[in-house]
Structure 1
Amino acid sequence: MNKSLRQLFLVSGLVVSALGMSAPASAALPFFSDKKDEVPSLAPMLEEATPAVVSIAVKGTQTSRQQVPEMFRYFFGGPQEQTRERPFRGLGSGVIIDASKGYVVTNNHVVDNADEITVKLTDGREFDAKKLGSDEQSDIALLKIDPQDLTALPLANSDEIRVGDFVVAIGNPFGLSQTVTSGIVSALGRSGLNIGGYEDFIQTDAAINRGNSGGALVNLHGELVGINTAIFGPNGGNVGIGFAIPANMMKSLVDQIAEYGEVRRGLLGILGNDVDAGLAEAMNSQVNIGAFVSEVQPDSAADKAGLQAGDIITAVNGRDLNSFQELRAKIASMGAGAEVELTLVRKGKEMQVDVVLDDATQTEITAAQIHPALEGATLANGQDKAGNAGVIVSELERGSPAARFGLQPEDVIVGVNRNRVTTLSEFRNALDEASGVIALNVKRGASTLYLVIR
């Protein structure tokens, strides 16, 4: 792991804040006192907002697997792997987003593998929480508690926030419940941090530390603009660079979890990369920022909508794009069947294209849609004989590129370049992000092997 990656730490229990647009000086903001002898204060706003931010305590058991050296298996027999279980406890934060239903949103890494989840309110009440579903790639989880006299945070339109807007983080850092810190929006659309699978973060300098994960980032009107998820800290502490999942992205994911019990990601069906000055010059384009389309997959949503290789996508639903990663995160957070307006530049001409997204979580696809070297294989979500989830080769054409590459029927692909994959969606995303030589980790019966795509 390189130095920059070591400096990125997930912070269990981060507070999510809802960022709104900065109000002009003449606006009557809720935190200003109307008494001449009093100074401006955030207290009135916080008195309304903090009851919606909760502390989360978890208990569970972690299972670790350890490879048994070949020589010991020879002498003593037994399986190739040994498993060990050890108990763990953790603290984090959460936000009540629906008081009538008892919905609490937090980070997936706060409640992952938890057997018991306890939610504690500001008034001292405690509730056992049920996890309705979660999404590891976007680090979102939805909990449900008994809806007894709860307070929820209203959601801001996070697409309207601007760099420089004031925000406040509320959470449970180091177990210090209801801690409040303030700052501004430092940047928008942050991606490429290798924190999670889908990155479109709000960056803030409001102090965020371990235990803030899942907490609230709010604007000065007390509206939720984001869920704090990670920090950049060389020593594991706050240095003024924190990251939050935008409220709009969170809401889209949570709605899918509430309806289906899982996230049914949208799929555009393109390959590409970021636009930079060199690419813009090579393409003779005046556009120096956005998402460059290098390939449109046949019969995909993009193909049906008329996208072409060489297009530069500059906006999604009217909001400017900074990178291909940002486009990928926005599309993935939208549900299958969502209608999206893309603004793109083709041969110097700007145009709008309406796309109806495919379902990225479909259970079976033709592998050629993912990578040319896999042509001839049909892939499906499945698991190996030990019950490990992965991508199974359900059909294979004799003499096909996939067969010549070394795949066999009933192979289960469980990793790409040492990154674990459990579904077709994760497999596709891992291949999209991979460059150069690609090594597939394959389970074949009782054996584990690597197949290399060059």
Structure 2
Amino acid sequence: MKKILGILVVAFIGGAASLTGYKVFVEQPQVIVQEGTPALQTVKANYVAPTLTNSSVPTNFTEAAESTVNAVVHVKNTAIRTQQNPWAEYLFGRGKGGRKYEQVGTGSGVIISPDGYIVTNNHVIEGASEIEITLNNSKKLKAELIGTSKSNDIALLKVETDEDLPYLPFANSDFVKIGEWVLAVGNPYNLTSTVTAGIVSAKGRDLDGNNNTESFIQTDAAVNPGNSGGALVNTRGELIGINTAITSRTGSFIGYSFAVPSNIAKKIIDDLLEFGSVQEAILGISIDPVDKEIDGVKIGTIDEKSEALKAGLKEGDVITKVNNVKISKFSDLKGQLTAKRPGDLVDVTVDRDGESLTKTIKLSKRTSYISQYLGTQFKDLTKADKEKYGLSGGAKIEITQNRAFLEYKVGKGYILTKINGKNINSASEAVEILDKNQNARFVLEMINPDGEIERFRY
């Protein structure tokens, strides 16, 4: 044993001596070079690092989500449909072979007042015979339909409850910025409220690529069919839009969704509550569609009696701003006008041969509407019309190309007062009912120029 230990000690001493000799006589010193690296700096002990703003870092969405989820509801609509049997119709006559059945549709809605007003999409409740609301706490309530705007895809509902409901305040959607963080909140498939996050991808979107569509907010927050009618909110939990549509070949979210801006939704709701129908404001101009490369909207013609002409607008002017909001394309202009009422004053900035001019214009009310289904142009009744025939509302025929009408000498001056027994308040309401139910059969009640009531089945 002593012999083994002696050998180990000798081996250890020899190894240490060899390593020392290598370090001293053989190995060259290693030099580490750092290029372009400044010397380490020191800072005072009381130095405070700068705090990044919310615009520079990802936002915490918890507060916005917490204040939003309880104000978003599940909307269930039940509609009675009729399945036609062609053989029964052949044997027993039209309408005799139908089998009635219930069809259930679902979507989302947003509570906008503590006393139970709820906004959703028109397509969520269209044709419903019964509407049921489920709150985020699973409480169910029956809802009444107050009014709709098919062209803007907005519907207003009302529920009765003894307690104040959580609701969302409206934000000014004109102030929404591209790149801003947003939350899409819906109550799809009665799963209780669901939250997704994204950014605003674009504003003033025209989905169909024509001049008859809305000015949508586009976002990449995930929205699926059951989210229709739900809320698009900013990081403060304020309502900036009503989620309405997605672009998808499969029916599911693939990257983009679209919302009706809150300014437009609020104006429609106010109109439905005050007038029962949407009051459409116009400038009194037509658009020149030829020059599409300009940044703005070029005026084609101006109505002779319009406020725009009185204010000094001219044909060929290019509208660049409305109330200091930039106008790049027609959908931007349409969005601004849709959010306004007849009689409102707007500052319109135009480019006229390189010179920027701003004119204050009083918006006019659109009074004429064309029913594509009937091939007939209707206008609202004047005060004189209402007094003459003792009416509170209706739609007066201006021009018709309808063969049946022409055959029975129904034309200019006839006033449509009822459709299927329902009173008609305005020309826009008449056209909306007729054109959204083009497969339906109508009983039209009219007053002829002599004040006599006539009824037509169409």
Q: Same fold (TM over 0.5)?
A: yes
Q: Distance in 1 between matches of 2:82 and 2:410?
A: 26
C-alpha distance 77-296 of structure 1, shift in aligned 2 (>3 A): farther
SS of equivalent to 2:118: strand
Map of 2:151 onto structure 1: 137
Residue 192 of structure 1 contacts residue 325 of structure 1 at CA under 8 Å; is this kept in 2?
Answer: no
Question: How far did residue 174 of structure 1 move?
Answer: 4.1
Correspondence 1:308 to 2:314:
yes
Q: Which structure 2 residue ranges, 5 or more long, are not aligned?
A: 1-49, 382-393, 415-424, 433-443, 445-454
Map of 1:358 onto structure 2: 364
Question: How far did residue 307 of structure 1 move?
Answer: 2.1
Map of 1:37 onto structure 2: none
Q: Which structure 1 residue ranges, 5 or more long, are not aligned?
A: 1-23, 33-39, 279-287, 383-389, 414-421, 430-442, 449-454
Q: Which moved more, 1:77-86 or 1:168-177?
A: 77-86
Residue 394 of structure 1 contacts residue 410 of structure 1 at CA under 8 Å; is this kept in 2?
Answer: no
CA deviation vs aligned residue, 1:394-433 (integer Å, no higher than 9, x gap): 579xxxx999xx99952599xxxxxxxx97559999xxxx
Of residues 123, 141, 151 in structure 1, which corresponds to 2:137? 123
SS of equivalent to 2:226: coil
C-alpha distance 43-266 of structure 1, shift in aligned 2 (>3 A): same
- TM value normalised by structure 2: 0.67
Question: How far did residue 121 of structure 1 move?
Answer: 1.1
Q: Which moved more, 1:299-308 or 1:187-196?
A: 187-196
Map of 1:46 onto structure 2: 65
Q: Of Structure 1 and Structure 2, which has the larger fraction of its residues in strand?
A: 1
Map of 1:3 onto structure 2: none
Correspondence 1:212 to 2:227:
yes
Map of 1:166 onto structure 2: 181
Matches within 5 A, 1:111-260: 111-147=125-161, 148-193=163-208, 197-260=212-275
Greater relative CO (CA pairs within 8 A, separation 6+) = 1
C-alpha distance 428-98 of structure 1, shift in aligned 2 (>3 A): closer
C-alpha distance 250-273 of structure 1, shift in aligned 2 (>3 A): farther
Residue 291 of structure 1 contacts residue 321 of structure 1 at CA under 8 Å; is this kept in 2?
Answer: yes
CA deviation vs aligned residue, 1:44-80 (integer Å, no higher than 9, x gap): 33122211111111112246899x9xxx99x979669
Residue 64 of structure 1 contacts residue 83 of structure 1 at CA under 8 Å; is this kept in 2?
Answer: yes
Of residues 102, 105, 110 in structure 2, which corresponds to 1:95? 110
Map of 1:262 onto structure 2: 277
Aligned residues: 359
Residue 201 of structure 2 contacts residue 220 of structure 2 at CA under 8 Å; is this kept in 1?
Answer: yes
Correspondence 1:348 to 2:358:
no
C-alpha distance 224-447 of structure 1, shift in aligned 2 (>3 A): closer
Q: CA RMSD in A?
A: 4.2
Q: Distance in 2 between matches of 1:62 and 1:357?
A: 42
Correspondence 1:109 to 2:123:
yes
Q: Which has the larger radius of gyration?
A: 2
Q: Distance in 1 between matches of 2:378 and 2:264?
A: 29
CA deviation vs aligned residue, 1:3-42 (integer Å, no higher than 9, x gap): xxxxxxxxxxxxxxxxxxxxx974479x99xxxxxxx742
Q: Distance in 2 between matches of 1:64 and 1:252?
A: 38
C-alpha distance 112-277 of structure 1, shift in aligned 2 (>3 A): closer
- TM value normalised by structure 1: 0.67
SS of equivalent to 1:122: coil
Question: How far did residue 347 of structure 1 move?
Answer: 2.0
